[in-house]
Amino acid sequence: MTSRWASLRAGLEEFYAGPYRRTLARARREEDDLFRMVVLAEALGVPDPAAYYTVELMPALYEDFHAWHRRMGMDRSPLEHVGCC
């Protein structure tokens, strides 16, 4: 019985979200990029009054940092202490 519900749920999710998958992925990426900009603002030279709080989130962003700065059009890392490429 559980597998039938899981199958039904997967089918409904595909029916409703399938046509918008690309749009939803783009919106999520844009939100992630904005969040990354807020967290890295102080390191990029933008005064950030919340830098004390956002510095704790920086290790969480290092994993995708290289893909982010390449997507933003920067060939090399804009941060001196992060040598990803």
Residue type at 47 in one-letter notation: P
pTM tops 0.85, yes or no: no
Show Cβ contacts of residue 14 under 8 Å, excluding neighbours closer than 6 positions.
none
Biggest alpha carbon distance in the chain? 57
Model confidence over 16-64: pLDDT tens digits?
988 999 999 999 999 998 888 888 888 778 888 888 888 888 888 888 8
- The pLDDT value recorded for residue 55 is 80
CA angle (49, 66, 40) in 5-degree steps: 0
- The pLDDT value recorded for residue 52 is 85
For the chain, report the end-to-end CA distance as a whole number of angstroms.
Answer: 51
Domain positions in the chain are 1-46, 47-84
